[in-house]
Structure 1
Amino acid sequence: MLKIAKGRISYLAVIGAVIFMTIQVIANLNLPSLTSDIVNNGVAKGDISYIWQVGIKMVGFSLLSIAAAMCNVFLAARTSQTLGKNLRSDIYRKVINFSNDEYDQIETSSLITRTTNDVVQIQNVAIIMLRMMLMAPIMLIGAAFLAYTKNHELTLVFVVSLPLLAIVIGLLLKFAVPMFQAMQTKTDRINRIFREGLTGVRVIRAFRQDQFEQDRFEDANQDYTQNAINVNLLMSLAFPLMTLVMSGTNVAIIYYGAKLIGAHSMQVGNLIAFMTYAVQILMSFMMLSMVFIFIPRAQASAKRIQAVFDLKSTMTIAADPAKVDPAASNHELLFDQVNYRYRNAELPALSNITFAAHSGQTVAIIGGTGSGKTSLISLIPRFYDVESGTITLDGQNINQLGLTNLRDAISFVPQKATLFTGTLRENMQYGKATATDAEIWHALEIARAREFVEEDPDGLDMHVEQGGGNFSGGQRQRLAIARALVKQAAVYVFDDSFSALDFKTDADLRAELRADQHIQQSITVIVAQRIATVADADLILVLDNGRLVGHGTHDELRQHNAVYQEIIHSQLREEADK
């Protein structure tokens, strides 16, 4: 846990917390001795002025203890919250820069748990360490020493009580720690099932699996609940057992202390002070035990977070990255014998892909489900890195380009149209923050989205709900396309982005793309399922099981390529069946 705290907390604040905690404990340790003096030298002798004098000292030490405690709490809270804030920021920064390979290794639900619940566990332990873990050893040592100075014979009582307390705490820790550690894994499971239920609610309803999903969530929820109940039942035994040990210790102290007082070997005030020190010793021991209960759970959380930080990216970043100019009028995209294999996969997803595209050209990629279309275009912005072969943009190997520059040169429309909460204008400016309203309206016009945007009274200021939930599937897709067109890029990539559009809108949109002056200076890459969408492309790539089995124009492939012919015939049969 100390590893992830390094560099994320203020060491001056930690030192300050230690100093103020030491002052607080010293002030508290002086109070029993002053009480002893009042009883021995004031009450026993009837000296009222001495009682007032020592009483004022006690008030001073109490105020000093309160002030020191407030400063310690402030610094401890500030340190723990700063640690939490920095951890969340660093996790988010690390995750947002993951390649898709790293995303495939850790589930989204687990990443959410690590960023929220795990960080909270570490925050809680941080403040506990700066409070209880500091206070307990200082008070334990100080109280034990002062108790010994009051009467060394009575300290023999601790020879029995402390080992007994240690046995009780040890047994509790043995059974409780594994349960605490299991809580995080069970939290992951609940988050995963809950997230799947929310994102897949339409599928669940369509297949009438509501009860199945409810039962699945109930099972995970019950498992988590039962574990929490068990650990709380176990921990509920802690305080009664500790109180029993403490009460037994006080009885023994009073019993033997009374004998010492009767034998004139000990003063009454010293017995009162000794009892107070005994309580402080036992309370310190209890606080330490509580710390050791919480630390294993926080340690488990720290390991889970550190696993995110330790995840090595498969993506290599050039030390002196080259650059391309998205605004240039002459671009070239070249795939040269490119191979790619997903992590731990036996077979390659792409094998020996070679083609070239230039400014003004439209490259269409078509093939059956699982043929590697999305895998291929995911290599262009380096969502994944090639296994072998090279991809160059404007003569530069994309592995030698800076990621920021490379992705600035590419405008990407994914299969799933994703919009963000805010206004439509904010969404349209996502790729180009300085985009004017005129540029946005122009992009909306090309994407065939201007009409329904103009119908809204708020226009570009209309509200966009999370995920674009207040738009239909076709509207979301057109808005996602418009967002990509607002950005000036060397390569425009459309990953099956026309699937939700009707044939007329699809044809009109592609006609607008071909007619746009800026698009004519760029390279357009389209992944599609429909022959009608790819028929007018300058170059069509036909994929089958990750291999390039044909390339050429629509007329060429229709005459000579069996896979392309099969796709045409299957779609013609579908149309005939309708």
Structure 2
Amino acid sequence: TVTADLVDKGVIGKNLPYIWQTGGRMLLVAGIGLLAALGNIYFAAHQAMQVGQRLRAMLFAKVLSFSDEEISRFGQSSLITRTTNDVVQVQMTFMQLLRMLMQSPIMLVAGCILAYLQQPRLATVFAISLPLLAAIIGLLMYLAMPLFKSIQQKTDRINLIFREGLTGVRVIRAFRQDQREQDRFAAANRDYTKTGIKAYTIISFMLPAVTLVLSLTNVGIVFLGSRLIAGRIMEVGRLLTFLTYATQILMSFMMLSMLFIVIPRASVSARRINEVLDAENQLRDPVQPVKAPQGPASLEFDQVSFRYAGAEDPALSGISFKAAAGQTLALIGGTGSGKSTLVNLIPRLLDVEQGEVKVNGVAVTDLRQNDLHGLISLTQQKAVLFKGTVRSNLLFGKATASEKEMWHALEIAQAAGFVKENGGLDAVVEAGGANFSGGQRQRLAIARTIIKDAAIYIFDDSFSALDFKTDAALRQALAADEKMRQAITVIVAQRVSTVANADQILVLDGGRVVGQGKHEELKRTCPNYQQIVASQFQKGGREDAPRS
């Protein structure tokens, strides 16, 4: 509008002071607009980064609360993609929404109103161009949305194959399957690429379509405007003003259409993020939790049964036993007999289907998970170490541990010797403990378990990589330690020699207890235990040779 006055009153009227005065006002407003645009970019970026930060934190916290079953349902690769790629998609779209979605509608509506006030007849052009643009964008969105959803799923697939290749690189090389894995990755990569090309080819029609409509709109305005000027219904300055408004209106619409390029993929990512955040945790704290019990340690299973989701047969059936402070409980049985499943019920990493698990006389379902985990220290089958140092990994078990406590735990775990050779407590530990052997990783994980003050110590087949001599020395050190004698020790093992000195041995087969008692008793009364003993101590060997 100011431009129209500048042309009609200043240029045509040859009023130079008016041109300078009006031009100065326009420069001032332009300067304010520039500062506002810079502020818009800064605050939009700042808020978008905070949204990304909060989403990642929420996803990480949620995943940490998942049970093994929930993690398996989503898949580790998919959870990584959702926490990284999907969050980035939402974050970038959020920034563009704050930059454009607030500005464009204001410019669009205000431009339409002011253009109509300039010349209502010319405004009829927008009644044709705007619905046409909306129809084009709607059609392209309809075609592109399913493809963008497919792209995110194919991203999961690529991440899965790549992750398997990284973790299983030694196996791949050992079996000379390099080419097979490359072909497998190439197939997934091609599939992702084809879908991406198809999706973005559809979206790429948006810009030329909008440009064509914009150009035809300007042609229509000039054609009708020239006739109005010829009929002296409108001045030249008003036509320039209308063209400026038309450009603003259509540019605003184009900015909105640019958002529609990123919104489809971001909406898919947002749904995938919400699937994780909205997932119901199977393992939930009780509404009215019982305070964590103190006093002598005790562990009881009362007719416990457990079934994995979708399984026809239960993994455990009718398990009952009791263990008191100072006792060692051992679990032995064939592969798939339910040993690890049983010990995972103690810290409530899984929930029982029937029966009850009690720790210190209280059902584990009546305790807050955090309080329950404070009573239990666990070494799982696969020794997990974190990138850092030996010290940082031991502090993971007990944050207030002194160096004396650390060395004591390492000595019990038979790890002090190689830790000293590698530089002491500040020896570097690579991700997953890759710079240590399997036996060394197990001993460091055992030391981390021992250093924690707990009522129940669980060693889930964590002696499997140790030689007989180290195994025996470690068990002797455990039995001699004062702290361990006041707690319950649960040992899952494959070797008879590892469990032979236990106060109580449970022999599992097919998820049931088929033998319960001490070593000598089970040798006489339990056929399954007799078979295990016979298979491990063949003719010419001594059954008691590796025992402590």
1:510 maps to 2:475: yes
Query: Is the Cα–Cα contact under 8 Å of residues 144 and 203 in structure 2 kept in the other structure?
Result: yes
The Cα of 1:310 is off from its aligned counterpart by 1.8
Provide, for residues 107-150 of structure 1, a one-character-per-residue CA deviation record: whole Å limited to 9, x for no partner.
Answer: 11111111111111211222222222222221111111111122
**Which whole-Å CA distance do the structure 1 matches of 2:371 and 2:489 have between them?**
18
Query: Is the Cα–Cα contact under 8 Å of residues 325 and 409 in structure 1 kept in the other structure?
Result: no
Query: Is the Cα–Cα contact under 8 Å of residues 100 and 256 in structure 2 kept in the other structure?
Result: yes
Aligned residue in 2 for 1:119: 87
**Which whole-Å CA distance do the structure 2 matches of 1:272 and 1:297 have between them?**
39
Aligned residue in 1 for 2:526: 561
**Which whole-Å CA distance do the structure 2 matches of 1:335 and 1:177 have between them?**
52
What is the aligned counterpart of 1:168 among 130, 136, 141? 136
1:222 maps to 2:187: no
The Cα of 1:440 is off from its aligned counterpart by 0.5
1:439-450 aligned at under 5 Å gives the runs: 439-450=405-416
The Cα of 1:234 is off from its aligned counterpart by 2.4
1:83 maps to 2:48: no
In the superposition, relative to structure 1, how do residues 325 and 437 fare at CA in structure 2: closer, same or farther (>3 Å)?
Answer: farther
1:92 maps to 2:60: yes
**Which whole-Å CA distance do the structure 2 matches of 1:521 and 1:512 have between them?**
14
What is the aligned counterpart of 1:385 among 343, 351, 357? 351
**Which whole-Å CA distance do the structure 1 matches of 2:104 and 2:148 have between them?**
23
Query: Is the Cα–Cα contact under 8 Å of residues 361 and 520 in structure 1 kept in the other structure?
Result: yes
Q: Which moved more, 1:423-432 or 1:209-218?
A: 209-218
SS of aligned partner of 1:435? coil
Q: Which moved more, 1:272-281 or 1:159-168?
A: 159-168
Query: Is the Cα–Cα contact under 8 Å of residues 148 and 268 in structure 2 kept in the other structure?
Result: no
The Cα of 1:237 is off from its aligned counterpart by 2.3
1:520-535 aligned at under 5 Å gives the runs: 520-535=485-500
Q: Which moved more, 1:447-456 or 1:399-408?
A: 399-408
SS of aligned partner of 2:192? helix
The Cα of 1:294 is off from its aligned counterpart by 2.8
Aligned residue in 2 for 1:56: 24
Aligned residue in 2 for 1:343: 309
Query: Is the Cα–Cα contact under 8 Å of residues 104 and 255 in structure 2 kept in the other structure?
Result: yes
Aligned residue in 1 for 2:102: 134
Supply the AA of the counterpart residue of 1:192: L
**Which whole-Å CA distance do the structure 2 matches of 1:228 and 1:97 have between them?**
34
The Cα of 1:574 is off from its aligned counterpart by 10
The Cα of 1:315 is off from its aligned counterpart by 2.0
**Which whole-Å CA distance do the structure 1 matches of 2:41 and 2:444 have between them?**
51
Aligned residue in 2 for 1:13: none
Aligned residue in 1 for 2:390: 424
Aligned residue in 2 for 1:405: 371
Query: Is the Cα–Cα contact under 8 Å of residues 203 and 261 in structure 2 kept in the other structure?
Result: no
1:484 maps to 2:449: yes
The Cα of 1:267 is off from its aligned counterpart by 1.3
The Cα of 1:298 is off from its aligned counterpart by 2.0
In the superposition, relative to structure 1, how do residues 395 and 170 fare at CA in structure 2: closer, same or farther (>3 Å)?
Answer: closer
**Which whole-Å CA distance do the structure 2 matches of 1:369 and 1:446 have between them?**
28
The Cα of 1:575 is off from its aligned counterpart by 8.8
The Cα of 1:503 is off from its aligned counterpart by 0.6
**Which whole-Å CA distance do the structure 2 matches of 1:534 and 1:224 have between them?**
52
**Which whole-Å CA distance do the structure 2 matches of 1:125 and 1:575 have between them?**
72
In the superposition, relative to structure 1, how do residues 507 and 575 fare at CA in structure 2: closer, same or farther (>3 Å)?
Answer: farther
**Which whole-Å CA distance do the structure 2 matches of 1:63 and 1:202 have between them?**
62
Aligned residue in 1 for 2:322: 356
SS of aligned partner of 2:123? helix
1:547 maps to 2:518: no
Aligned residue in 1 for 2:235: 267
Supply the AA of the counterpart residue of 2:333: G
The Cα of 1:288 is off from its aligned counterpart by 2.4
**Which whole-Å CA distance do the structure 2 matches of 1:159 and 1:322 have between them?**
68
Query: Is the Cα–Cα contact under 8 Å of residues 122 and 224 in structure 2 kept in the other structure?
Result: yes
**Which whole-Å CA distance do the structure 2 matches of 1:235 and 1:351 have between them?**
57
Aligned residue in 1 for 2:545: none
Aligned residue in 2 for 1:501: 466
Query: Is the Cα–Cα contact under 8 Å of residues 177 and 293 in structure 1 kept in the other structure?
Result: no
What is the aligned counterpart of 1:239 among 189, 204, 207? 207
SS of aligned partner of 1:411? strand
Supply the AA of the counterpart residue of 1:527: V
Aligned residue in 2 for 1:374: 340
**Which whole-Å CA distance do the structure 1 matches of 2:65 and 2:146 have between them?**
34
Supply the AA of the counterpart residue of 1:302: A
Aligned residue in 1 for 2:124: 156
The Cα of 1:192 is off from its aligned counterpart by 1.2
In the superposition, relative to structure 1, how do residues 241 and 320 fare at CA in structure 2: closer, same or farther (>3 Å)?
Answer: closer
**Which whole-Å CA distance do the structure 1 matches of 2:16 and 2:219 have between them?**
31
The Cα of 1:324 is off from its aligned counterpart by 4.1
**Which whole-Å CA distance do the structure 2 matches of 1:286 and 1:551 have between them?**
76
Q: Which moved more, 1:114-123 or 1:228-237?
A: 228-237
SS of aligned partner of 1:154? coil
SS of aligned partner of 1:429? helix
SS of aligned partner of 1:230? helix
**What is the TM-score normalised by the length of structure 1?**
0.91
Q: CA RMSD in A?
A: 1.6
How many residue pairs end up in the alignment? 541
1:309 maps to 2:277: yes
Q: Which moved more, 1:295-304 or 1:335-344?
A: 295-304
1:284 maps to 2:249: no
**Which whole-Å CA distance do the structure 2 matches of 1:158 and 1:556 have between them?**
94
**Which whole-Å CA distance do the structure 2 matches of 1:520 and 1:540 have between them?**
17
Provide, for residues 394-417 of structure 1, a one-character-per-residue CA deviation record: whole Å limited to 9, x for no partner.
Answer: 211121122122111111001111
**Which whole-Å CA distance do the structure 1 matches of 2:113 and 2:218 have between them?**
18
Query: Is the Cα–Cα contact under 8 Å of residues 172 and 234 in structure 1 kept in the other structure?
Result: yes
**Which whole-Å CA distance do the structure 2 matches of 1:232 and 1:188 have between them?**
19
Query: Is the Cα–Cα contact under 8 Å of residues 332 and 493 in structure 2 kept in the other structure?
Result: yes
Query: Is the Cα–Cα contact under 8 Å of residues 301 and 320 in structure 2 kept in the other structure?
Result: yes
**Which whole-Å CA distance do the structure 1 matches of 2:397 and 2:286 have between them?**
24
